[in-house]
Structure 1
Amino acid sequence: MNSWENMPMSNEVLTVSQLNRQVGQLLEGHFSRLWVRGEISNFTQAASGHWYFSIKDERASVRAVMFRGRCQAVGFVPKAGEKFEFRATVTLYEPRGDYQLQVESMRRAGRGDLHEAFLALKEKLAREGLFDPARKRPIPAMPATVGVVTSLAAAALRDVLTAMARRAPHVRVIVYPAPVQGLDAAGKLDAALRQAVARAEVDVLLLVRGGGSIEDLWSFNDEALARSIAASPIPVISGVGHETDFTIADFVADLRAPTPTAAAELCCLSHEACARAVRVAFASLAAHQRRLLERASLRLDRAAAMLVSPQQRLGRQALHLQGLSQRLSRAAAQATAAQAVRLDKVRARLAHAQPRPQGLRSELNHRRQALADAARRLLERRRQRLLALAQTLEALGPRSILDRGYAIVRKEDGEIVKNALDLSVGEQIGVELARGSVRANVIRAHGLL
C-alpha cells in the first residue's frame, strides 16, 4: 500500500504529535537506508557514549546521531572538518519536529575544505618557522597590565575578567574589542592586536574566544592574524575554544591555553602566589640580615677583646723602649770590645811584617849567588845535550852514509832513483859520491819488483 493513502483528509484536525508521528512514518517509509556524503561539524561525544553532530556541504546541513553500539564499531573518533560517507536512515525527532539522520556506519571520504585549508596554512607557517619554540617569548610571571583581545559580548571575556578578579585583582586589565566570528572578524582581530602592540601599554596579551564549530573558530585560522601574533613584541597567550579545539593562533602564540579561563590563570601569578613569594622573600631577607648582624657582633667582640687602655699601651711601649735601650748599650759595649780585639790582631800582624834590612840583605846576596849557580848548571846541561844531538844528526846525515862508500843516483830532473827498473837503457843519470859526482849512461838495468 502506498504510504500516501494513510495521509489524513484535508478536513481532519491533527495534533502536533500526530502530525510529527505521521511525517516520521512517511520519511521512514519513503527513504530506506541510504549513503550520505558530507563534512562533520559541531561534533559532540556525550557521556552516554552517543555521538551528536551535523553533516554539511557548501549549501546545507542536517543533524545526525550515532548511538554508542554503532560508535564502538567505527574504531576512531571523527574530527570536525573531516569528510565521511555515512550509512544512515532518515528519522524524525518528534518532540521538536526536526528530522535527522540515524547513522549506522561511516567511512572516510576525504577531509573538508575548511580542514584542508587549515592544514595547508599550518604546513606553510611551520616551514617558515613560525611554530618554532625557540622564537616564542617567555610569559612574564608578574605583569602589571594584561590586554585581552576578544568581543565585548563574548562569554570568554566574562570568564577572563572573573578569573582575573578572583586570582589577581591587583593586575590591570585592558580590553581591545573585536568580533570573534563573522566574515570580517579576522581582519578586526588583527587590527585590535596591532593596536595593542602600537599602544604598548600591556605586558602580555590574551587572544580568547569560547568554543564552537570549525566555522565559528575560523577567524583564528587567518594568515595575517597569525603573522601579527608572531611579530608581536608583546607575549601572546591563545585561549580559543575548548581543550580539544586547535587553531593556527594556538600554534603561533607564545603559549596555548585550553580555555579562556585557563589563559587568565596562565598569564600571571595569583594574588596568593605573589603574597607567598613576598613572604618567602621577606623571610629570606630577615634570615640574611640576622646572619649579617651575628657576624658583625662577632667582629665587635673580637675588636673589643683586642682593645687596650692608653695607660696599658704607654706602659707596654715604655717596657719596649727600655728593652731597646739595654740592647743598644750591650751592642755598643760588644762593638768596642770587638774593635779592641781586632786592633790587637792588626798590631801583631804589623809587628810580624815589619821589615829587617840587615837580615834581608844577607838573604838577598845568598839567593843571588844561588840563582847564578843554577843558571850556570842549566847552561852546561843544555850545551852537553846540544853536542849530543849534533853528533847524532851528523851520524844519521846523508854525508856520513856517502863517506861509508854509498852513492846517490838521480835522474836528469833531480829525482832520486830507488829502483833500477825506474831507469831506461840509454838514460843519463847523475851519481853523487862522498867527494865529487859523475854522470853516466844506463847500459843495462835489472832489479826487483
Structure 2
Amino acid sequence: MLSVGQLNRRVGRLLEEGVPMLWVTGEISNFVRASSGHWYFTLKDERAAVRAVMFRGKTAMLDFVPASGDRIDVRARVTLYEPRGDYQLQVESLRRAGQGNLYEQFLAIRARLQQEGLLDASRKLPLPAFAHRVGVITSLGAAALHDVLSALTRRAPHVSIVIYPTAVQGRDAATEIMSALAQAQMRNEVDALLLVRGGGSMEDLWSFNDESLARLIAASRIPIVSGVGHETDFTIADFVADLRAPTPTAAAELVCRPRQEIINDIVGLTDRLSRHQQRMLENYSLRLDRLTGRLVSPAQKIRSDRVRVIHALRQLDSSMNTELAHKKNRVALLNQSLEHAAPQVAHARSRIAAVLARLDRAADRFMNQTQRRFERAHTQFETINPRAVLGRGYAIVYDETGRVQRDPAILQEGQALTVELEKGTQQVRVIPNRS
C-alpha cells in the first residue's frame, strides 16, 4: 500500500523519465511575475490548458517579458507538483510563436552565405582612419537616428553626415533598404555607411535578414557598419557587414575617432617633427662649423702661394748656378788637357773655341727656356691671384671675426666691417639703406 505522497513521487518520476524535453505552443493566460523573479502562467489552446513555471535563472536570459494573451513556444520538461498532484511544464526557454520557423530560415540563409565565403573576415573592408563624411541608412523617425546624430555631434563634430532615409520595418522595408544602399553606392559621396535601427522582436528585425540585402551589403565598395537592435540581437546584416556594432550609438562611435584624440595625435606628431628638425639643425650646424674651420682666407692663400713662388725661384736660381759651375769646371778640365797635348795645341784650341761657342749657345738656350718657364709660371700665378680681382675694382669684406661676408641681408645696422682693396684695407660701418 502507498501513501499519497509516495504515489505522487512515483508518478512524477514516470513523467520525468518517460516524457523527454519538448516544445509546446499555446497562448499565455493568468501570467504572474512573482517578487522572487519566477514566472507562473497557464499555457492553453482551444481544447486544453496546462500550468507552467519558469524560474528566475531562466527568465533572466530573455530579452522580453511575455504577457497574458501572447502566443509563445516553450521548451519544457513535464513534472509533477507533488503537494497537489498536478502536473506542470517546467520551462527552460521560450520565444514568441512563429519564431521557430523564422530562426530556421535565419540559420539556412547564414549557412548559404557562409558557404559562399561572404562571411569571411578576409573580404571585409577596413574602416577609414579619418572619415570626413559618413552616411546613415535608417528611418527618419527612428530613435536610432537621433542616437547616431547625437554621438557623432558629440564625438566628431567635424564629420559631415548624409542620411539615406528608408523604412526599417514592415513588408517592403528590405526593398527600401536595398534602394537606399544602392543610391549611396551610386553617389559615392561618403567614406563609410551606418546601417542602424533600434531593438525589437525577430519579426521586427526580419527585413535585415533578407538574403538579397545581405548580398548587396557584401558587394558594397563602401565600408558598412551594422548597428541593428540591442547587444543581444543578431541579424544576417551583422554577419555580412564589414563591422558589427552592438547598438546604433556604438556604430557611430566605431566609424570615427574622437576629435580631441585626433588633435592630441597632431600635437604629438608636431612635437616629434619639431624635435627632429632641431636635431637636424644641430647636426648641420656642427658640419658647417667643421667645414668653416677648413676654409682658408684669400689673404692667407696669397701669402702661402707667394712663399711657394719665392721658394721655386730660389730653387731655379740655385739650379742654374750649379749647372753653370759644372760647365765651367768641365771647361777648366778641358783647358788643362789641352795644355798637356802640345803637338795639337792649335787644333785643341780650335776645338775648345768650338766647345765654348756651343757652351755659350747651350747656356743661352737654357737661360731662354728657363726665362720662358718662369714667365709662364708668373702668368699662371697672376691668373689665380685674388689680388688681380681687387685690381679690377673689386673688394673683399670681412666681419669682426675675420669671416668673409657675401650676403648684405645678414648685415646689421652699425656693424663694423673691414674692406680690403687692391692697395690696402679700410674700416667701415653699415648704414641703413635709404632707397
Relative to the length of structure 1, the TM-score reads: 0.54
Query: Is the CA contact 2:74–2:91 (under 8 Å) kept in the aligned structure 1?
Result: no
In structure 1, distance between residues paired with 2:276 and 2:35: 56
Alignment of 1:47-86 (within 5 A): 66-68=54-56, 71=58, 84-86=74-76
Instruction: Write out per-residue CA displacement over residues 104-150 of structure 1, whole angstroms, 9 at most, x where no aligned residue.
Output: 33489998110000000000001111111111111012111000000
In structure 2, distance between residues paired with 1:119 and 1:303: 77
Partner of 1:38: 25
Instruction: Write out per-residue CA displacement over residues 73-104 of structure 1, whole angstroms, 9 at most, x where no aligned residue.
Output: xxx95799x95444699xxxxxxxxxxxx963
**Which of 176, 183, 200 is the aligned partner of 1:188?**
176
Residue type matched to 2:293 in 1? A
Structure 1 residues 204 and 37: CA distance shift in structure 2, 3 A: same
Residue type matched to 1:152 in 2? L
Structure 1 residues 319 and 183: CA distance shift in structure 2, 3 A: same
Partner of 1:233: 221
In structure 2, distance between residues paired with 1:174 and 1:122: 30
Cα RMSD of the aligned pairs, angstroms, is 4.2
Structure 1 residues 113 and 170: CA distance shift in structure 2, 3 A: same
Query: Is the CA contact 1:37–1:84 (under 8 Å) kept in the aligned structure 2?
Result: yes
Q: Does 1:152 align with 2:140?
A: yes
Structure 1 residues 305 and 56: CA distance shift in structure 2, 3 A: farther
**Which of 251, 256, 262 is the aligned partner of 1:268?**
256
Query: Is the CA contact 1:39–1:111 (under 8 Å) kept in the aligned structure 2?
Result: no
The percent identity for this pair of structures is 53
Partner of 1:104: 90
Q: Report SS of the residue matched to 1:112.
A: helix
Query: Is the CA contact 1:36–1:88 (under 8 Å) kept in the aligned structure 2?
Result: no
**Which of 294, 314, 321 is the aligned partner of 1:306?**
294
Residue type matched to 2:300 in 1? Q
Structure 1 residues 314 and 104: CA distance shift in structure 2, 3 A: same
1:210 deviates by 0.9
Specify the structure having the higher radius of gyration (Cα).
1
Partner of 1:291: 279
Relative to the length of structure 2, the TM-score reads: 0.56
Alignment of 1:339-418 (within 5 A): none
Partner of 1:214: 202
1:213 deviates by 1.0
Q: Report SS of the residue matched to 2:24.
A: strand
Query: Is the CA contact 1:84–1:106 (under 8 Å) kept in the aligned structure 2?
Result: yes
1:281 deviates by 1.4
Partner of 2:365: none
**Equivalent residue pairs, number:** 280
**Which of 82, 88, 107 is the aligned partner of 1:119?**
107
Q: Report SS of the residue matched to 1:269.
A: coil
Q: Report SS of the residue matched to 2:193.
A: strand
In structure 2, distance between residues paired with 1:235 and 1:329: 92
Structure 1 residues 167 and 53: CA distance shift in structure 2, 3 A: farther
Instruction: Write out per-residue CA displacement over residues 317-356 of structure 1, whole angstroms, 9 at most, x where no aligned residue.
Output: 222334445566677889999999xxxxxxxxxxxxxxxx
In structure 2, distance between residues paired with 1:169 and 1:229: 27
Query: Is the CA contact 1:39–1:112 (under 8 Å) kept in the aligned structure 2?
Result: no
Structure 1 residues 224 and 48: CA distance shift in structure 2, 3 A: farther
In structure 2, distance between residues paired with 1:116 and 1:330: 118
In structure 2, distance between residues paired with 1:253 and 1:167: 23
1:241 deviates by 0.9
Q: Report SS of the residue matched to 1:38.
A: strand
1:191 deviates by 0.6
